[in-house]
């Protein structure tokens, strides 16, 4: 936790910040976590989460990106959004994780929401997810 707000200068740094914030891995439900990186490249101390299903739903993504776009309007120029998918399970990045990453990335582009690289945490690892 002590390093959770250290500056983020690389994808690896962002992975480490998420890892610090998540603590011991192990999840009972699927959640999408999001937070903001300010122009100083530090995660702001407020994180939010939304319960999600196994597959992205367009309506939920539209509502989320619309809300994020509105929030970003009131933040300093250069603020970006960091996203983490969490859920129970084991193994490498799955096709479902890639579909989530692709859907989030595409919807963020439609709403002009600047996203950081997307990560996924399950019960045994926290990894970056490239879009499908």
Ramachandran category for residue 83: left, alpha or beta (phi over 0 → left; psi -120 to 50 → alpha): beta
Question: Does the global pTM surpass 0.85?
Answer: yes
**pLDDT tens, position by position, 7-35:** 999 999 999 999 989 988 999 999 999 99
Whether the pLDDT of residue 1 is over 60: the answer is no
Distances (CA, A) of 4 to 19, 69, 74, 93, 127: 8, 24, 23, 23, 17
**CA–CA distance, 20 with 73 (Å, rounded to integer):** 28
**3-state class of 114 per DSSP?**
coil
**pLDDT tens, position by position, 107-129:** 999 999 999 999 999 999 999 99
Token code pair at residue 101: 């990453």
Whether the pLDDT of residue 57 is over 90: the answer is yes
CB 35 within 8 A of CB 44: yes
pLDDT mean over 34-60: 93
* HEC sequence for 80-100: EEEEEEECCCCCCCCHHHHHH
Q: Which residues of 30-60 are buried (b: 16+ CB within 10 A; e: fewer)?
A: bbbbbbbbeeeeebeeeeeeeebeeebeeeb
**3-state class of 6 per DSSP?**
coil
| pLDDT over 90 percentage in the chain | 86
């Amino acid at each position: 936790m002590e390093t959770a707000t250290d500056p983020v200068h690389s994808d690896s740094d962002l992975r480490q910040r998420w890892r610090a914030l998540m603590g011991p891995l192990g999840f009972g439900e699927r959640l999408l976590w999001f937070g903001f990186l300010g122009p100083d490249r530090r995660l702001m101390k407020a994180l939010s989460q939304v319960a999600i299903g196994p597959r992205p739903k367009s309506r939920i993504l539209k509502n989320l990106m619309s809300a994020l776009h509105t929030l970003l309007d009131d933040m300093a120029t250069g603020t970006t959004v960091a996203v983490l998918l969490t859920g129970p399970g084991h193994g490498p990045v799955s096709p479902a994780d890639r579909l989530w990453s692709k859907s989030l990335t595409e919807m963020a582009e439609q709403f002009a929401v600047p996203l950081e690289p997307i990560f996924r945490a399950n019960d045994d690892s926290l990894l970056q997810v490239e879009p499908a």
